[in-house]
Amino acid sequence: MRILVVGTGGVGSAFASIAARRAFFDHCALADYDASRPASLVASLDDGRFSAHRIDASSREAVSELIRETGPDAVLNAVDPVFNVPVFDACFEAGVTYLDMAMTLSEPHAEKPFELTGVKLGDYQFDRAAAWKEKGLLALVGIGIEPGAADVFARHAADELFSEIDEVGVRDGANLVVEGYDFAPTFSIWTTIEECLNPPVIWERDRGWFTTAPFSEPETFDFPEGIGPVECVNVEHEEVLLVPRFVDCRRVTFKYGLGDEFIEVLKTLHKLGLDGKEPIRVGGVEVAPRDVVAASLPDPATLGERMTGKTCAGTLVTGIGDDGAPKSVYLYHVADNEETMREDGAQAVVWQTAINPVIALELIADGTWSGAGVRGPESFDAAPFLARMREAGWDYGIVERSTADVV
């Protein structure tokens, strides 16, 4: 297999470091707008299977040209989702497999943003699913940790653990601390602003997709492996748009453990208009306020040496077990920053995201996962994915829960 990775920020770099220890690919081209980033990464890997390139991911033509130049079988989109459309479209035109870790962006409903959906996450991609299927091409969307492994957990629960599912509730929490900074997001602040300030989406069988206010329905969730209780709130996320398409259940939610301080910072950015995506003129220069915020904060990829703690991504599934009794289980993956830095030189949050496209590409390369159209991870057999996680030493956990665990 030949691979092109578009974007060598935190996740793209971590993907390369992890993939370098695997044998499923023949060549991996690493590309970024800042040519020095992939060049430095390739030099550090010291592996002849990797090459470095410059790319402007905002240009479909530029992406198409690099696809022609590098000849990939699959393209991994590892840039912020604002660039998804040109990368997605270029892959379709070139006839190559496409993977991303976040879907095309949403737009709130113009009149009732906290009740009704407008343009949903991934609508652009799923609107083109028939064309991809007709062409025999696969676009695997949302194959990070969340979405990604969280969706695989939901599929595994449906196939192996439950006869009837009431709710699939993705819950994300951490006890990570970054020394030396008053405020330092451990993931792309651009993406964090997008998903946290947009109206959260919920899906219910009898109602379909609908929205609520940002940070709504707080609950305290007790995360495993020493992380402990964390208050989680509704956040817009892809799992809610993906899981109901292939997993039979009554309700799907996503809640994120942000913390009061983080939420207040995001609210302040919104009040000041600093979350804006559209460029404004400042002293003769046009710049988007959100890009200024991102440029002012430390690069998440560089925080690993200052970071301590663990991060947990998982899926709480409730319903009726195969034995006919009420059942509640949390399927999860925990990444310890000390371990991920020691193993691959990547901080825990980006590393935890990056291991999943590595597994998915391995499964695609050997034909275990195959198909056509626009599909999420929950549309594939979960068993081989989970087996690869364990074989690689990236094990997941399953714990029985009680309704008392959610307050």
Give the CATH number of the domain where residue 218 resides.
3.30.360.10
pLDDT computed for residue 405 by the predictor:
44
Tally the domains of the chain.
2
In a domain, 367, yes or no: no
Same-domain pairing of 154 and 76: no
Amino acid present at 329? V
Centre a 10 Å sphere on the Cβ of residue 32 and count the other Cβ atoms it contains.
25
Which of 81, 100, 119 lies at the terminal end of a domain, its last residue?
A: 100
Same-domain pairing of 184 and 331: yes
- N- to C-terminal Cα separation, the chain: 47
The residues facing 74 across adjacent strands are 3, 97
161's tokens: 């653990």
Same-domain pairing of 78 and 198: no
DSSP string, 235-260: ---THHHHHHHHS--SEEEEEE---H
Reduced to 3 DSSP states, what percent helix, strand and coil does the chain have, rounded to the nearest 5?
Answer: 40, 25, 35
Centre a 10 Å sphere on the Cβ of residue 403 and count the other Cβ atoms it contains.
9
Same-domain pairing of 191 and 250: yes
Dist CA 385 CA 181 (whole Å): 37
User: What is the average per-residue pLDDT within 279-288?
Assistant: 90
Dist CA 355 CA 362 (whole Å): 11
Same-domain pairing of 82 and 162: no
In a domain, 226, yes or no: yes
Cβ proximity of 3 and 29 under 8 Å: yes
Same-domain pairing of 201 and 320: yes
Which of 73, 100, 127 lies at the terminal end of a domain, its last residue?
A: 100
In a domain, 169, yes or no: yes
Angstrom CA distances, 52 to 38, 64, 205, stand at 5, 16, 47
Cβ proximity of 216 and 266 under 8 Å: no
Strands 177-178 and 307-308 turn out to be antiparallel
Same-domain pairing of 336 and 249: yes
- CA proximity to 124, closest of 348, 374, 340: 374
| H or E stretch at 51 | strand 50-54
In a domain, 45, yes or no: yes
Of 237 and 403, the structure prediction assigns the larger pLDDT to 237
* Residue 106 DSSP code: P
Q: What is the pLDDT of residues 216-275, one digit of tens each?
A: 999 999 999 999 999 999 999 999 999 999 999 999 999 999 888 888 999 999 999 999
User: What is the average per-residue pLDDT within 31-58?
Assistant: 97
Q: What is the percentage of the chain residues whose pLDDT exceeds 70?
A: 99
In a domain, 360, yes or no: no
Strands 27-32 and 50-54 turn out to be parallel
Same-domain pairing of 321 and 202: yes
Same-domain pairing of 90 and 231: no
Cβ proximity of 377 and 360 under 8 Å: yes
Same-domain pairing of 162 and 305: yes
- CA proximity to 169, closest of 60, 295, 329: 329
In a domain, 331, yes or no: yes
pTM: 0.93
Which of 100, 119, 140 lies at the terminal end of a domain, its last residue?
A: 100
In a domain, 164, yes or no: yes
pLDDT computed for residue 375 by the predictor:
98
Same-domain pairing of 91 and 157: no
Q: What is the domain range of residue 86?
A: 2-100
Q: What is the pLDDT of residues 126-153, one digit of tens each?
A: 999 999 999 999 999 999 999 999 999 9
In a domain, 291, yes or no: yes
Same-domain pairing of 160 and 91: no
CATH code of 95's domain: 3.40.50.720
